[in-house]
A and B are shown apart, each in its own frame.
Chain A
Amino acid sequence: MRARHMKLSGWGRALAVSVRAWRPERAAGVAHALRAGRDDGVIAYAGGRSYGDTPLNGGGDVILTARLDRILSADWKAGRVVCEPGVEVGDLMRVVQTHGYAVPVSPGTGFATVGGCIANDVHGKNHDRHGSFGDHVDWIDLMLPDGETRRVTPDGEADLFAATVGGIGLTGIMLAAGLRLRPVKSNAVLMKETPARDLEAFLAMQEEARDRHTYVVGWIDATARGRALGRGILETADDSEIAVDAPVRTRRRMPIEMPGFAMNRLSVGIFNALYYHRVPRRGRERHAPLTQFLYPLDAIEDWNLLYGKRGFHQFQCVLPDAESPTGLRKLMEAISAAGTGSFLAVLKTLGGAGKGHLSFPMRGFTLALDFPAKPGVTELLGRLERITLDHGGRIYLAKDAAMQPDSFAAMYPRLDEFRAVLDRIDPDRVMNSDMARRLKIRG
């Protein structure tokens, strides 16, 4: 088995590193790649949909899981499937929908993989109702750094399970995972869009919606200022009994990488204003395929080229309920003052803590937005990190490429438990990544 020397970057494209990449097609190949690992260690690289340096390992090895993409078995009576880590959630969703199920938790892109969803303990637009991805995992077949394969369950070896769910790949390479599905009556949801005129109104509407609807998400206009600060559109959705025609899978591609100046204050401001005003003030309702509701941006496969050669950063944090009104206002003010422009920012609620030591969710409000990687963006991200920390919040590792190690340690109180597991299963530090080094995760 050969490796290939290549450049890899996260979805934000702001960082690109040189790696030696293995692409095993079966378990034997994974073992080979783990053994071949060099001083700089090895990490799994799956769908490439996390934004920063989670799956990067500059100067070291990565194991691409793209060819480990089989659905191994399905029990349609019990609503359970077994998947290899490289199976894309959108692909899995389409397969299980034909049998009356949905993948219970899915991120905003169907191109994320099962392995990536576990490693980042991702959440969707239904976190209050259904928790995060790790809450639906029965077991994980994990190849540990020493090459031994073990079936890890939430009860059996609880701390290894907690270190693997949300553990950004540092406990080893997954070979398979057993997942629980959610029964649904059709492939569709009934969705409703309602505009919110400012931040206060928006928070009140979300607070009310989080207990009443299965899916709740808010698109927030990060360019609005003054009295309109924090205005946006609330989208709620619930399972529908009426099926709709499955969307034809047209994959449009970005024809070119846009020039760096395309995403400027003016263009983004106009886009956001149009996006806000397209929904009538009284709101509107329609039936939509669940996949279309979950993956609005997947229609354009490589939309990350919008931000040009330099790429972009995504910032996502969560603030506890009580801190959210003041904390979010400070965040929105800092963003709007910087004027760097973020097209499609998201504000939504989260229901509670995940099962992993490094799981992102906590009960509160989460805000996510993009910034072009232009001069000044580091300072802005630093200010947002400070505000998050001051309000007892947390930054999402799947999005991050800029956080400081001490902030990370302060935001993730179970870091010590995580480190203890890694010290036990990986004393030689076979698993490693740019994020692990940057955040000093191993201490």
Chain B
Amino acid sequence: MAGREEQRQTWLVLGASSSVARAFAGAAAEDGADVILAGRDVDDMKRTAGDVSVRTGRNVDVLPFDAEDLAGHEAFAADARKRADILNVFLAFGAMPEQDEIDADFALAAHAIAVNYTGAVSVLHRLAPHLEAQGEGHVVVLSSVAGDRGRLKNYVYGSAKAGLNAYLQGLRARLFRKGVSVTTVKPGFMDTDMTWGLEGMFLVASPEQAARACLKAAKRRRHVVYVPVFWWGIMTIIRHIPEFIFKKMNI
């Protein structure tokens, strides 16, 4: 047992500058894990690393990571694996351009797909063999309720998240065979940089609430969770509206 206890849990946080990722890093460290922060803004991640280690005394590393740099993901995954005994993954990056801006410029649609779908699949794909080899661990991916149904106001982002959700179903089946859990988190509205100043927000979850829910879902090896949970009800209704009505709705 003694040898087993020395196996330290480490959470790799992808997209670590977002407020939910920051809160998750803090919650995971509070829970006793080390943390690797990965993202583009290294200066900012160093600040978060300082905060988490001062408050919890855990080791916090910072690694540069760009979701769109697909060629670099292989080496990145190997590097992250080397830094941990038991690696767990929290994927929190995403891009949500306004739909009307996307409609006017395909480059923005391509960017949303590249980050939310291709980038996520790429890095998870490179991490998967390492996770299989260690034979335990958790993967938590921050997806979105937007993937549950294509909506007039958000359908490119939604379609990328829908694709990601399907990918995660397959990945869950694959990693389950090796003892690794995969949790798809579908947040409704969260009080983040991405949603600050948007009209019509309601039932908003704080980053801390969302982060705690993500960590809890991972430990319970949940498959799909809505955060907060009542979004499951809302999305069940939205999914069941007949298409001939839904297409006329302005949501």
Contacts and interface: CB of A to CB of B under 8 A. Distances in A.
Nearest to B51: A70
B5 interface: no
Interface string B12-50: 000001110010000000000000000001011001101
B43 A27 contact: yes
Contacts of A72: 47, 50-51, 54
A296 interface: no
Given A2-B196, A2-B198, A4-B197, A26 B41 contact: yes
Interface in A3-20: 3-5
Interface residues of A, number: 21
Contact of A74 (B41, B43, B47, B54): B54
A70 B47 contact: yes
A23 B196 contact: yes
A382 interface: no
Given A25-B17, A26-B44, A71 B196 contact: no
B41 A71 contact: no
B54 A1 contact: no
A169 B58 CA distance: 35
Contacts of B47: 26, 70, 72, 84
A338 interface: no
Contact of A67 (B19, B43, B197): B19
Nearest to B198: A2
B55 interface: yes
Nearest to B26: A70
Given A1-B193, A2-B197, A95-B55, A25 B50 contact: no
Contact of B41 (A5, A23, A28, A67): A28
A29 interface: yes
A73 interface: yes
A177 to B, nearest CB: 13
Contacts of B18: 25
A143 to B, nearest CB: 14
Contact of B50 (A26, A67, A70): A70
Contacts of A27: 43-44
A71 B17 contact: no
B55 A71 contact: yes
A5 B196 CA distance: 10
Choose among B17, B41, B54 the residue with the greatest number of A CB atoms under 10 Å from its CB.
Answer: B54
Interface in A51-98: 67, 70-74, 81-82, 84, 95
23 contacts: A2-B198, A3-B197, A4-B196, A5-B197, A25-B17, A25-B18, A25-B19, A25-B22, A26-B17, A26-B41, A27-B43, A27-B44, A28-B41, A67-B19, A70-B51, A71-B51, A71-B55, A72-B47, A72-B50, A72-B54, A74-B54, A81-B54, A82-B50
Interface of B: 17-19, 22, 41, 43-44, 47-48, 50-51, 54-55, 193, 196-198
Interface of A: 1-5, 23, 25-29, 67, 70-74, 81-82, 84, 95
